[in-house]
Amino acid sequence: MSTMNEIYESHLYPSDRIVPVDFEAVRTAPESYVWPKSDVFSSGEQSSVPVIDLMDPNATEHIRQALETWGVFQLLNHGISSSLIEEVENEIRRLFALPAQQKLKVLRSTHGSTGYGLPRIAKNFSQHLWHEGFTVMGSPVDHARKLWPHDYERFCDVMENYQKAMKGLAERLIRLIFLSLGICDEEIRWLGSSDDSGSNNITAALQLNSYPPCPDPDDGQVMGLGPHTDTSLITILRQGDINGLEIFKDGVGWILVPPLAGAFVVNLGDLFQILSNARFRSVIHRAVVNGTRQRYSFAYFYDPPMDFVLSPFCNGLNSGQAPRYRSMTVKDYISVKFNNFMTALSSIEI
């Protein structure tokens, strides 16, 4: 059984795209951080992504419709306690407030998947990203001990509790989406098969994102996280109360996803696009930075087991349709994505 860590270990990541800028020393964005105006243009579109109440008796149908038209929705009444979310927010602030030298002690390695650093997509853009992140898979204890030798347990407990809660919510949503499409329980036996008590079986990641204020983003020409799709099956994102997340809608352009108190932003990733034979799309999104306030967000990415063979579900979903993607394991798709980034899905089309 392959693990997520092993897959990332086999892909050497360029060392010059891991270390974030020293935000204590560099207060205005250097030229290498400035994106062309045409790339950052926002549509100003007012219509916004659907908001769904999970307690609504018709929630399943609303989710299916939202995913077919938008690929993303905001979720309320999800059952995750606000105190747990606040604890995560407090730990994120504590982490990113540490001096740069301290954070660099847990820098992600060129073969690594967890720790501090720029997001993995940084290598795909010629411009730099105004961002610092920290990736957790399972227990973050080894890193937490280095950051807070005498006070690391709180961070670990909070991150582990949150991952457990997210795993439950992700599996609930996935089951509900599949069943609404007529995919039977038999075909989703793998759901819930991973076990987060042992680090060998983890197929999920928690990404903590920090976007320090960028004093000169008048034209929004500095990017926190460049345009991307998530590789995951499903992503559950919590954004604070500061604007930043935008999605790309065909025929419209970039649309803001306004922060909504208490809500999670839920989107499908590439793996769901493959399984659904492109009935559901993996939404393109990005995060822009704020001129005066530091923005935080945290995203939970849920994947099937790494050896799971992704084959489009053609019968239940799009009856009689031919598969649009060739079958491959999750780990092979992660390799394809590493080498092809935004063309990964089209490169596996039949």
Ligand X SMILES: O=C(O)CCC(=O)C(=O)O
Residue 49 one-letter amino acid = V
Two structure tokens written together for 257: 């996803």
295 is catalytic: yes
Separation in Å, CA 143 to CA 24, 134, 205, 238, 315 = 22, 10, 15, 23, 45
Query: For residues 33 and 313, which CB has a smaller minimum distance to ligand X in the complex?
Result: 33
243 CA to centre of own chain: 17
* Binding residues for ligand L37FFZMX restricted to 256-315, rule: CB under 6 A: 301
DSSP string for 220-255: --BEEEEEE---SSEEEEEE-SS--EEEEETTTEEE
Q: Is 114 in the site for ligand X (CB under 6 A)?
A: no
Which does residue 3 touch among Fe ion, ligand X, ligand L37FFZMX, none (CB within 5 to 8 A, set by kind)?
A: none
Closest CA to 315 of 279, 283, 281: 279
In the complex, minimum distance from the CB of residue 22 to Fe ion, in angstroms, rounded to a whole number: 25
Two structure tokens written together for 51: 């908001």
Separation in Å, CA 171 to CA 20, 65, 71, 176, 229 = 33, 19, 18, 8, 20
Query: For residues 228 and 295, which CB has a smaller minimum distance to ligand L37FFZMX in the complex?
Result: 228
Q: Is 205 in the site for ligand L37FFZMX (CB under 6 A)?
A: yes
Q: Is 163 in the site for ligand X (CB under 6 A)?
A: no
Residue from the set 21, 29, 137, 225 that interacts with ligand X by CB under 6 A = 225
C-alpha–C-alpha distance, residues 157 and 42, integer Å? 39
- Number of residues binding to ligand L37FFZMX, judged by CB under 6 A: 12
Site string for ligand L37FFZMX, 64-93 (x = CB under 6 A): ------------------------------
* Binding residues for ligand X restricted to 202-221, rule: CB under 6 A: 207, 209
Q: Of the listed pieces 84-92, 117-125, 165-173, 260-268, which binds ligand L37FFZMX according to CB under 6 A?
A: 117-125
Neighbour order of strands in the sheet with 285-288? 223-228, 285-288, 245-249, 253-256
Residues within the interface to ligand X (CB under 6 A): 207, 209, 225, 230, 237, 239, 244-245, 285, 287, 297, 299
Residues serving a catalytic function are 295
Residues within the interface to ligand L37FFZMX (CB under 6 A): 113, 119-121, 135, 205, 207, 228, 230-232, 301
